[in-house]
């Protein structure tokens, strides 16, 4: 005897139970035995400092849908989970804790500090993992990795050494972005540009060997102290006479050359650019072309150096004020203009970033970028949606060398040693004890650590066991798809592509599905500072995880950002409840059902229709899933489940299941009902894993888990166009009667009589065979079928065109029911609608070009439409005429 469910689905009770069950049964574990086709997704590893936000929720829901689908579809599906050590972010978190305790990392020392971070990680670094479990993520937790665990650190070491040996990693002086607050270099991507109001200062640089001066424009006058040239565009006519001249640097009096460089834009400012190689990227590049010296005027703490002369030791912003004052005094400040420009800020601490020349480690990225560009060009790696390819190519072709050293402590320490005796730099696979050149034992290791993204770039193969040759690596690399938002496309995805292609010789994933960003209901990006964060955990508490997941999937239309609307989540919560109640109804009618009993009855037309529709829904759902059209998959399942399975199939079934139905027929009905419900549950499982598992276990004959049940596959032999046409006719007829009733204000409780006229015997036959359903669903008492007849004038009338040809008149005698004016109004509304449609079709068919040039099937479809409309309209018109005689 099947258990009866509660009236309203209560997610809280159910969810934890099944997650525990799945884990205990090992259902998330990939086998990696090669027995089934592999399918693999590596998770974008969340930061250990993180907690689940909307972006994670969407990202991981989509991945889980894919993984659960592929697993049920017969793949050995591996969802590789793990977390990222998040160098700067984590170090900042722990440093803030230390500050509260009144100490700092320098007091602790490097070793103790790192131990402290590990301890913090052990205590609170796993919070997000539990939140992912709440979401239902079916990651293979037995394989969980961490970017700083032993194996991944070995991968980092190996890649670093290899690239160094290949000359693709080098240490050099270069302009980097320096955060004076974090005291570390930042990669270009880690700098956020914010429009800032400031001034453009016009400063006169006197000529050294003749009268006059050249005026330069700058936003950072304090960098003047590091100028080693002034540059103009070689073609700028204003300065032709000055080519080769020398200038006196204001205040310091240093003699600097006037040079020409095509980089200089004549239209900006005065067309003359002060060149500060140590504190500006482009100036640095100009300096390299001209072999100019670099003078460092600013130090790592943002204070002026001794090269700044009397300004030494001043803060950069104080120095700016002083210099302006002095320039004014000397009459060298020509003018100031308001100027708004983008100022770089540290993405971690918001401090103003200072471009600065510095000795750092770099990856020569051009060599690595080229194969990644080619891989996308030739389709070995697909970006979905394709629109991202343009941005990708733009970025990859303009990419600069990647600064990978960070002056922090938490991370992979750069495996480079310098021999104090002979100066030799060693980058070995094993920690060295003596210098291989001179044999000295006095080796000092590099203190910098690697950029966090260096280890993340190896994620697709390091997590699978590389550098060891593991079965997982052989089976699952390249992985199937990477699911991510575009905001880390370049931080992460591009770098994985470069590293994967270089180290593994193949793309890290065949496809990248780039989903939208989740915004608040007003379309704003969610951020702590705006205070518009919506916590996914709260929504899960409120509406249940299944409803939340289904909503995210339904929101995930490609190429458009998501505005999270709680109202829509409520809508999908209702859908989840609908699924629950449809199952409840089913189970309530299975009391006497014996799944083992044979059933030789053929499918009824209703059943054939349902089965046929199911095949189409399966095809559509699978198609949408394969194309990453999550919203469409969700929509198809929603419409089918609610408006076909529940609204029609279950309603049509009720009489078959009622008391007094023949046991054999009843059993047959039950069997198909269970089958269809089972398919619906399996189709929905990837979207709503918890409720489907709960119901699954209550279905007769169900065993194990819905996770191990096969995903429905469409069987084309079950398509049944005739059943669909027949049921289409029946449903249209029922709707037409309901419509007349409602428009005539016939109370739902009272029964009506209906006459059905048709010249087509087949139509009447079909309807006759469904008369019990029609009576029940349209609430009809006396139902008569006739080829034609003299219907009473006092009647409401509707015309239905059968999907496979022929027409049907539905007549509802009104005697004693209501006044005829109402019916006349209803008819006029209906006829208006038809006339408008008819006019459009007539216009089209009157066009000779249309007849001549449009495809034949389009023309014949329009002709058929015209005929149908005409027929329907004339029938309604004649009825209206007769009705009018009654009114007169």
Partner RNA sequence: AGGCACGUAGCUCAGGGGGAGAGCACCACCUUGACGCGGUGGGGGUCCGGGGUUCAAAUCCCCGCGUGCCUACCA
Site for RNA in 319-348 (CB under 7 A): 339, 341-342
Residue 13 binds to RNA (criterion: CB under 7 A)? no
State which of positions 373-402 bind RNA (CB under 7 A). Answer: 387, 390-391, 394
Contacts of 754 (CB under 8 A, 6+ apart): 737, 774, 778, 780, 782, 783, 784, 810, 811, 812
Residue 887 binds to RNA (criterion: CB under 7 A)? no
Residue closer to RNA by CB (options 21, 642) is 642
Residue 816 binds to RNA (criterion: CB under 7 A)? no
Binding span for RNA by CB under 7 A among 94-102, 371-379, 523-531, 815-823: 523-531
CA distance 510 to 480: 5
Q: Which helix (H) or strand (E) holds 687?
A: none
- Residue of the chain from 122, 749, 846, 888 that contacts RNA (CB under 7 A): 749
Rounded least distance, CB 437 to RNA, Å: 40
CA distance 410 to 360: 17
Q: Which residue bears the tokens 């389709």?
A: 379
Residue 263 binds to RNA (criterion: CB under 7 A)? yes
Residue 492 binds to RNA (criterion: CB under 7 A)? no
> 3-class SS at 707?
helix
Residue closer to RNA by CB (options 23, 566) is 566
**Encoded tokens for 664:** 């054999």
- Residue of the chain from 505, 596, 710, 855 that contacts RNA (CB under 7 A): 855
Radius of gyration of the chain (CA): 37
Burial of 149 (0-12, 13-18, 19+ CB in 10 A): middle
Residue 695 binds to RNA (criterion: CB under 7 A)? no
Rounded least distance, CB 498 to RNA, Å: 17
Residue closer to RNA by CB (options 264, 435) is 264
Residue 745 binds to RNA (criterion: CB under 7 A)? yes
DSSP 425: E
Rounded least distance, CB 806 to RNA, Å: 15
List residues bridging with 315 in a β-sheet: 303
Residue 825 binds to RNA (criterion: CB under 7 A)? no
Rounded least distance, CB 269 to RNA, Å: 4
Could you tell me if 199 and 323 are in contact, meaning their C-beta atoms sit under 8 angstroms apart?
no
Q: Which residue bears the tokens 């060149």?
A: 275
Binding span for RNA by CB under 7 A among 43-51, 62-70, 315-323, 832-840: 832-840
Task: List Cβ<8 Å contacts ≥24 apart for 539-545.
Answer: 539/566, 539/569, 540/134, 540/135, 541/12, 543/11, 543/569, 543/570, 543/572, 543/573, 544/9, 544/11, 544/12, 544/15, 544/573, 544/576, 544/690, 544/691, 545/11, 545/15, 545/134, 545/135, 545/136, 545/690
- Residue of the chain from 748, 815, 846, 888 that contacts RNA (CB under 7 A): 748
**Encoded tokens for 264:** 């200089």
Residue 786 binds to RNA (criterion: CB under 7 A)? no
Rounded least distance, CB 13 to RNA, Å: 12
Q: Compute the C-alpha angle 131/135/141, nearest 5°.
A: 70
State which of positions 539-598 bind RNA (CB under 7 A). Answer: 557-563, 565, 567-568, 571, 573-574, 576-578, 581-582, 584-585, 588
Rounded least distance, CB 341 to RNA, Å: 3
Rounded least distance, CB 821 to RNA, Å: 16
SS (H, E, C) 288-353: HHHCCCCCCCECCCCEECHHHHHHCCCEHHHHHHHHHHHHHHCCCEEEEEEEEEEEEEECCCCCEC
DSSP 648: I
For 54, 82, 110, 302, 583, the CA distances from 149, given in Å and listed in that order, are 28, 10, 19, 35, 46
- Residue of the chain from 13, 335, 829, 884 that contacts RNA (CB under 7 A): 829
Rounded least distance, CB 872 to RNA, Å: 10
Residue closer to RNA by CB (options 252, 458) is 252
Could you tell me if 757 and 791 are in contact, meaning their C-beta atoms sit under 8 angstroms apart?
yes
Helices then strands, each counted (H, E), the chain:
29, 29
> 3-class SS at 357?
strand
Could you tell me if 214 and 204 are in contact, meaning their C-beta atoms sit under 8 angstroms apart?
yes
DSSP 604: P
> 3-class SS at 3?
coil
State which of positions 106-165 bind RNA (CB under 7 A). Answer: none
Residue 503 binds to RNA (criterion: CB under 7 A)? no
CA 681 to chain centre: 25
Rounded least distance, CB 8 to RNA, Å: 4
Q: Which residue bears the tokens 């208006």?
A: 832
Residue 9 binds to RNA (criterion: CB under 7 A)? yes
CA distance 429 to 447: 17
Residue 18 binds to RNA (criterion: CB under 7 A)? no
Residue 647 binds to RNA (criterion: CB under 7 A)? yes
- Residue of the chain from 445, 532, 739, 771 that contacts RNA (CB under 7 A): 739
Binding span for RNA by CB under 7 A among 32-40, 411-419, 684-692, 862-870: 862-870
Residue closer to RNA by CB (options 650, 883) is 650
Q: Compute the C-alpha angle 792/793/795, nearest 5°.
A: 80
- Residue of the chain from 132, 264, 376, 676 that contacts RNA (CB under 7 A): 264
Contact string (CB under 7 A) for RNA, positions 404-443, x = contact = ----------------------------------------
Rounded least distance, CB 545 to RNA, Å: 14
Q: Where are any strands of DSSP class E within 627-671?
A: none
State which of positions 452-481 bind RNA (CB under 7 A). Answer: none
Q: Which among 623, 634, 487 is positioned nearest to 551, based on CA atoms?
A: 634
Residue 781 binds to RNA (criterion: CB under 7 A)? no
Residue 631 binds to RNA (criterion: CB under 7 A)? yes
Binding span for RNA by CB under 7 A among 48-56, 103-111, 193-201, 660-668: 193-201
CA distance 113 to 91: 9
Residue 742 binds to RNA (criterion: CB under 7 A)? yes
Residue closer to RNA by CB (options 437, 588) is 588
Rounded least distance, CB 593 to RNA, Å: 15
Q: Which among 375, 420, 343, 483 is positioned nearest to 45, based on CA atoms?
A: 483
Residue 289 binds to RNA (criterion: CB under 7 A)? no
Rounded least distance, CB 352 to RNA, Å: 13
**Encoded tokens for 327:** 């320039």
Contacts of 151 (CB under 8 A, 6+ apart): 145, 462, 465
Residue 642 binds to RNA (criterion: CB under 7 A)? yes
Residue 216 binds to RNA (criterion: CB under 7 A)? yes
Binding span for RNA by CB under 7 A among 275-283, 312-320, 498-506, 761-769: 275-283
Residue 218 binds to RNA (criterion: CB under 7 A)? yes
Residue 365 binds to RNA (criterion: CB under 7 A)? no
CA distance 131 to 59: 13
State which of positions 32-51 bind RNA (CB under 7 A). Answer: none
Rounded least distance, CB 682 to RNA, Å: 18
> 3-class SS at 64?
helix
- End-to-end alpha-carbon separation of the chain, Å? 64
Residue closer to RNA by CB (options 266, 371) is 266
Residue closer to RNA by CB (options 433, 529) is 529
Residue closer to RNA by CB (options 387, 887) is 387
Residue closer to RNA by CB (options 288, 524) is 524
CA distance 527 to 476: 36
Residue 646 binds to RNA (criterion: CB under 7 A)? yes
Residue 273 binds to RNA (criterion: CB under 7 A)? yes
Could you tell me if 573 and 9 are in contact, meaning their C-beta atoms sit under 8 angstroms apart?
no
* Count of residues interacting with RNA (CB under 7 A): 96
Rounded least distance, CB 132 to RNA, Å: 25
């Amino acid at each position: 005897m099947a258990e009866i469910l509660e009236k309203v689905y209560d997610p809280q009770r159910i969810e934890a139970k099944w997650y525990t069950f799945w884990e205990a049964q090992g259902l998330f574990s990939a086998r990696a035995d090669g027995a089934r086709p592999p399918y693999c997704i590596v998770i974008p590893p969340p930061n250990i400092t993180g907690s689940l936000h909307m972006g994670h929720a969407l990202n991981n829901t989509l991945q889980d849908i894919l993984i659960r689908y592929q697993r049920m579809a017969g793949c050995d599906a591996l969802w590789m989970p793990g977390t990222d050590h998040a160098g700067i972010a984590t170090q900042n978190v722990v440093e803030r804790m230390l500050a509260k305790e009144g100490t700092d990392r320098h007091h602790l020392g490097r070793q103790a500090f790192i131990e402290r971070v590990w301890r913090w990680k052990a205590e609170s670094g796993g919070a997000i993992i539990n939140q992912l479990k709440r979401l239902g993520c079916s990651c293979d937790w037995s394989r969980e990795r961490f970017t700083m665990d032993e194996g991944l650190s070995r991968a980092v070491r190996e890649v670093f050494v290899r690239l160094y040996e290949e000359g693709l990693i080098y240490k050099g002086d270069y302009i980097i972005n320096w955060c004076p607050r974090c005291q570390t270099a930042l990669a270009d991507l880690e700098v956020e540009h914010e429009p800032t109001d400031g001034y453009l200062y016009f400063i006169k640089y006197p000529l050294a060997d003749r009268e006059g001066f050249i005026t330069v424009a700058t936003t950072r006058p304090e960098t003047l102290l590091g100028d080693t040239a002034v540059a103009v565009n070689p073609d700028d006519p204003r300065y032709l006479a000055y080519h080769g001249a020398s200038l006196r640097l204001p205040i310091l009096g240093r003699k600097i050359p006037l040079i020409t460089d095509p980089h200089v834009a004549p239209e900006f400012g005065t067309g003359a650019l002060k060149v500060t190689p140590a504190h500006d990227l482009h100036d640095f590049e100009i300096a390299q072309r001209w072999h100019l010296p670099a003078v460092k005027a600013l130090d790592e703490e943002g204070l002026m150096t001794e090269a700044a002369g009397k300004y030494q030791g001043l803060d950069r912003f104080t120095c700016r004020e002083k210099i302006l004052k002095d320039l004014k005094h000397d009459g060298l400040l020509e003018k100031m203009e308001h100027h708004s420009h983008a100022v770089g800020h540290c993405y971690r601490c918001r401090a103003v970033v200072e471009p600065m020349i510095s000795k750092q480690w770099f990856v020569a990225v051009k060599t690595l970028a080229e194969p990644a560009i080619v891989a996308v060009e030739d389709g070995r790696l697909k970006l979905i949606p394709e629109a991202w390819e343009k941005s990708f190519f733009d970025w990859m072709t303009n990419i600069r060398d990647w600064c990978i050293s960070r002056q922090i402590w938490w991370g992979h320490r750069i495996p480079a040693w310098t021999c104090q005796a002979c100066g030799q730099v060693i980058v070995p696979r094993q920690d060295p004890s003596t210098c291989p050149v001179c044999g000295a034992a006095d080796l000092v290791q590099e203190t910098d650590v690697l950029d966090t993204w260096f280890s993340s770039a190896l994620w697709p193969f390091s997590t699978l066991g590389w550098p060891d040759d593991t079965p997982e690596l052989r089976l699952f690399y390249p992985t199937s798809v990477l699911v991510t938002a575009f905001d880390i496309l370049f931080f992460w995805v591009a770098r994985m592509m470069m590293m994967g292609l270089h180290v593994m010789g193949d793309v890290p994933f065949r496809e990248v599905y780039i989903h939208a960003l989740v915004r608040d209901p007003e379309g704003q990006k969610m951020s702590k500072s705006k205070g518009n964060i919506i916590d996914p955990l709260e929504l899960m508490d409120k509406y249940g995880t299944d409803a939340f997941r289904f909503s995210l999937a339904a929101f995930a239309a490609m190429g458009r950002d998501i505005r999270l609307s709680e109202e829509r989540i409520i809508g999908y919560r209702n859908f989840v409840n609908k699924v629950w109640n449809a199952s409840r109804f089913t189970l309530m009618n299975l009391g006497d059902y014996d799944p083992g009993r044979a059933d030789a009855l053929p499918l009824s037309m209703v059943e054939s229709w349902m089965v046929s529709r199911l095949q189409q829904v399966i095809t559509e759902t699978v198609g949408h899933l394969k194309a990453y059209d999550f919203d469409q998959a969700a929509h198809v399942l929603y419409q089918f489940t609610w408006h076909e399975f529940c609204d029609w199939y279950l309603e049509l079934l009720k009489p078959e299941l009622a008391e007094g139905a023949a046991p054999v027929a009843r059993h047959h009905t039950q069997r198909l009902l269970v089958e269809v419900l089972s398919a619906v549950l399996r189709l929905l499982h990837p979207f709503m894993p918890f409720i489907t598992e709960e119901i699954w276990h209550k279905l007769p004959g169900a065993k194990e888990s819905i996770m191990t049940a096969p995903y429905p596959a469409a069987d084309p032999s079950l398509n049944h166009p005739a059943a669909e046409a027949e049921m289409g006719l029946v449903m249209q007829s029922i709707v037409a009667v309901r419509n007349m009733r409602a428009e005539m204000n016939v109370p739902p409780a009272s029964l009506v009589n209906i006459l059905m006229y048709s010249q087509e015997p087949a139509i009447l036959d079909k309807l006759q065979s469904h008369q019990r359903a029609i009576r029940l669903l349209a609430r009809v008492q006396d139902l008569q079928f006739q080829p034609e007849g003299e219907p009473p004038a006092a009647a409401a009338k509707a015309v239905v065109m059968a999907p496979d040809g022929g027409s049907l008149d539905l007549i509802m005698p009104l005697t004693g029911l209501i006044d005829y004016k109402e019916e006349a109004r209803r008819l006029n509304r209906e006829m208006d609608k038809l006339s408008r449609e008819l006019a459009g079709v007539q216009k089209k068919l009157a066009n000779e070009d249309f007849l001549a040039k449009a495809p034949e099937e389009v023309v014949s479809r329009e002709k058929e439409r015209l005929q149908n409309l005409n027929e329907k309209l004339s029938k309604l018109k004649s009825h209206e005429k007769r009705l009018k005689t009654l009114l007169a």
